[in-house]
Every structure is written in C-alpha cells, then in structure tokens.
Chain A
Amino acid sequence: MHFHKIRKKLFFIVGTILLLVIIAWVVSLFFQNPPTEKIEAGRKAIAEAIKEEAEVYSAPELNLARKNWEDAMNDWKENNDKTPIARNYERTIILADSAIANAQNAIKNSVQRKIEFRREIEKSLPVLRSKIAFIKTAKEKLPLNHNVWKKFTPAILKMEEVESAFKRNDLFSAKKNLESLTASVNEIERQTTELLNKYFSSYPEWLKLDAEMRQRSRANGSVSVLVDKFSKKCIVYKSGKKIREFDVELGVNWLGHKIQQGDRATPEGKYSITSKKAGRNTVYHKALLINFPNSADRQRFNNQKASGSISKNAVIGGAIEIHGGGGKGIDWTDGCVALRNRDMDNLYALCSVGTPIAIVGSLVPLEKIFDLVPH
C-alpha cells in the first residue's frame, strides 16, 4: 500500500516535469529567433563609424544610423514585453539593417572626406603661401596704408590658424577656415594685381619720358633728371648717359598721379626746376622746386572735379620739391621727393633752374619686378 502511494507521487512529479517540458516545447515552436545578430552588427558598425570620426566628417549619416539602431532596440524591447507567441521582429530587423547600412555609409563617407579634405588642404596651402608671398612683396613695394592691405593682417592670422589646425590633424576646422581664407586671399590678390596692372598701364609713357630725358641731355650736353618711383631712384643723365643715381623717398601715397592738395601723392609727368633753395629758404637742407602743376596736372584736376570724384572745393596744391632730409627708410613726404642731405648736395650742384625732370612710375616692367607669378 505504502509502495503504491510512493509510486503514485513519483508519477505525479515526473508527469508535472514532463508537462512543463511539453508546454515549453510547444511554446518555443511559436518563438521567433531574436534579432541579436543584426542589432549587434549595427552596434559594431556605429562604433566603427565613431572611430572613423564620422561624428565630424559624416554626421548626418551617423545620426541616421544611431536613430535607426535606437528605434530597432525600442522595437525589440516592445516585442520582448509581449508574450513569445505575439512577438514579431520583422520591423526590428529592417531598422537594424538600415542602421548597419547608414553606419557603413558614414564610415565610407568619413574615410573619403578625410582623404579629400587632406588632399585639398595639402594642395591649397602652398598656393595660398605663394599668393601671400606675392601680396607681401607688393605690400613692401607699394604705399603702406593702401586700402588693399586692410584685410591682409586678418588673412595672415587665419592662415596661421589653418596651419595649426592642420598640424594637429583637425582637418574639419582647417578645411572650414580654408574656404574663407582662400576667398579673402584671392580677393586681396585680385585687388593687388588689379592695382599694379592699372598703374603699370602707363609703362610705355614712362619709357617715352625716360627716352626724352636722355635725348634732351644728349642734345645740348646738359643734365636731365628722372625719378623712378617704384625703384625709389633718382637718375641723373648727362649727354645721354646716366652719371649718377640716388635713393629717394616719396609721398606717403605715392602710387599714381598727384590730384589735389593734401593727397600726399608724388606727381608723375614732365617738369622742370623753377627754383633752387638753400640755407634759410628751406627746412630740408637744400631744395629744387619743380613746376607742379603742369598743364596735364591741371587738366586731370579739372576733369576729376567736373566728374565729382573730388570735392568742388578741392585745391590742386603745389610746392613740390626735390629736397634733402631723406634717408628715413620710409615714404614720408607730402608729395615731394626726398634725398639724403649728402646726395642732395650732389644733385643740387648738378642741376640748375630749367633742368628738365621727369617723374615716372617705373623703368622696370611689372613682370620683372614681380618674379613671383601669382597662381
């Protein structure tokens, strides 16, 4: 009897376990495989994209990958809250697949963009350096405070920034600043080139004036003087030959013609000495007064006044001299031509009232002055 009871209990226990196993087996028949592999692949792809700096170089693709992966996770979670039979991972898998594709795109784009950025920066920097060198050379030769140079210092600072960012491998920042830097340098270069080309359009006339000065000195065996503004030289011709050459300093805004009083420009054209000053008659050691304004200067002044490009009350000015007091290493006069006192002594001795003098932009062509050809 007792044995019968034990056997019954044993049957009961084994039966219960069997029932549990059968229930579990039946339920598991309706289970879908969880999307673990896909989700894991998405996670790994996103981690790889982050390692490739996709946050910087391919942010939209990476953000899309993250969003799709999070949505896949949320969908998986929602499914897991349901009974196993009701679970459906189809959407989870679609989202995870999208996340993988987006992350792979982000990796590809990131790698590609870094290569492109590096290539572009490496290509642009030498070009910019060359352009900056050209502008610097022009800046050293042209008037110090010309409007063109106002944006030059900010451009130089920006160039340093781009190079720093590039050195620390921050290609994104370097590229970002490179665009504005290139625009700025190109604009300054364009203005500089335009300024020089415009100025040197008078080059043939300058050569003619030089030839005339030589010719006049040759014709009567006398002296004539030529001032070359660009090379800052005063050349003395006698009997058609160059006999002396002195360094000069000019007006602060020497580039171009002198238009009106106070513009601090040194005139250009054909003049002659009208008066010689020494001792108490000049504060600049010795001076040779020239006949500025000549008829061409007056014509130019009147035209500009008529066109409204200068004030109606503007005055043409005068008292342009070749005088001493130079040697300061900078263009500083109000329009006169300044020589060192000892050079002025020599020039003063060579010249007399009536000596012809031409002031020209340059005797050297533009392309020879700037061997740095801008890109």
Chain B
Amino acid sequence: MKKILVQISTVLLMAVLVVGCSKAPKAELAAANAAIDSAKVVEADRYIPTEFNALQDSLNAVNVLIETEKSKSFFSRDYKVINEKLVAITTEIGALKPKAEERKAQVRTEVQDTLAILTTLIQEDKDLLVKAPKGKEGKAALEAIQNDVTVLDASVAEINTLITNGDYLTAQDKTSAAKVKALAIKEELSTAISKRRR
C-alpha cells in the first residue's frame, strides 16, 4: 500500500513539475498586446499601416502558436520560442511608435506648410482686391473674384477641420486645389492693376 502511495505521489510530482516548467507566457503576451494598443494610440495603423499590420499579424500568429502549445499534452508543451518571438514583437512595436509619430508630424507639417502658403495667397488676393480698379467696368469682375475668395475662405475652414480630425491626406488635396485657384486670382488681379497703371 505504502509503495502504491509513493508511486502515485511520484507521478503527481512529475506532472506538477512538467506543467510548472511550461507555463504560457502571459506577461510577455500582455506586454505585446499593450505595445499594440499604445501603437494604435499614436495612430501607427493609419500612418505606417504596412508595418503595423505586419506586426499585428505576427502577434496573431504567436497567439495561434500559444494555443497550439496549450492544445498539446503538458509533457510536450514548449513556450521558449514563443517567448522569444513575443519579446521580439514587443521590441519591434516599440520601435514603431516613434516612427509613426515622426511620419504623422511629417504629414502634418507638409499640409500645414501648404496651408500657410494658401492663407498668405488668399490674404494677398484680398489685398489686391482692395487695390483693384473700382470703376464701373471692374465692379462685376471684382464681385466674381470676391465670390471665389469667399469659396477659398470656406475651403480653409474645411481644411482646418480635416487637420483637426487628422485627415491630412484629404486636407493636402483640398489645400493644393485651393492654392491653384488662389494663384489664378492673384495673377488676374495683378494683371488688372498693372494694366491700370500703364
């Protein structure tokens, strides 16, 4: 009887030892998930989507590996490679954050620079409108130009909303389009003013 008890205890002890040695990497997985969440906070998924999606997919693949290991009998579970992969993924996601922030800042700066040029151009158009010939003959033309400047002002308001919402690419399209029109107005008014001077 004593022998049987010893035998059972040994089996249980070995089982505990095997299970204890091959625990799923909960902490590492939590760290990787947290890293993904913090990358989303800086909109890595929006500004560097290819890299972000690749890492998200790698993390999904590791999750599959973890569950595959869990599905095995506890004798054959091995999380060593998975642990290493999780650490590597967490590090890579960490590196993704500054990259995303840099890209976001770059896009924002580009659109803000173009917007600054556009705003200056619109102001120049307005200044030229004041200087433009006010005679009877110019009135209708000036009214038409004033309407166009009003449209450009409305565009600037829309662009600012897009920038606030972080939609920099659409904002850039709108800014470029409005810039072309603002330049055309500037040229038209400058020509009218120089004609009068002559």
Contacts and interface: CB of A to CB of B under 8 A. Distances in A.
A280 to B, nearest CB: 20
B63 A330 contact: no
Contacts of A40: 61, 64
Contact of A161 (B7, B70, B143, B173): B173
B116 interface: no
Interface residues of A, number: 50
Contacts of B70: 77, 80
B176 interface: yes
B136 interface: yes
Main SS at interface, chain B? helix
Interface of B: 3, 7, 10-11, 14, 53, 57, 60-61, 63-64, 67-68, 70-73, 75, 135-141, 143-144, 147-148, 151, 155, 169-170, 172-174, 176-178, 180-181
A51 B170 CA distance: 22
Contacts, number: 113
24 contacts: A19-B11, A24-B73, A31-B73, A36-B64, A36-B67, A36-B68, A39-B67, A47-B57, A73-B63, A76-B67, A77-B67, A77-B70, A79-B71, A87-B71, A144-B143, A153-B181, A154-B151, A160-B173, A161-B174, A164-B172, A165-B170, A328-B137, A331-B140, A332-B137
A19 B181 contact: no
A160 B180 contact: yes
B176 A160 contact: yes
A119 interface: no
A6 interface: no
Given A157-B181, A173-B173, A332-B139, A34 B67 contact: yes
B150 to A, nearest CB: 9
Contacts of A330: 137-138, 140-141
A330 B73 CA distance: 91
Interface in A114-150: 143-145, 149-150
A51 B143 CA distance: 50
Given A153-B148, A164-B177, A331-B140, A23 B11 contact: yes
Given A28-B73, A153-B147, A16 B7 contact: yes
B64 A39 contact: yes
Most chain B CB neighbours (cut-off 10 Å) among A28, A51, A161: A161
Main secondary structure of the interface of A (DSSP, over half): helix
Interface of A: 12, 15-16, 19-20, 23-24, 27-28, 31, 34, 36, 39-40, 43, 46-47, 50-51, 73, 76-77, 79-80, 84, 87, 143-145, 149-150, 153-154, 156-161, 164-165, 168, 170, 173, 252, 328, 330-333
Contacts of A154: 151
Contact of B73 (A39, A43, A84, A170): A84
A341 to B, nearest CB: 15
Nearest to B14: A20
Nearest to B70: A80
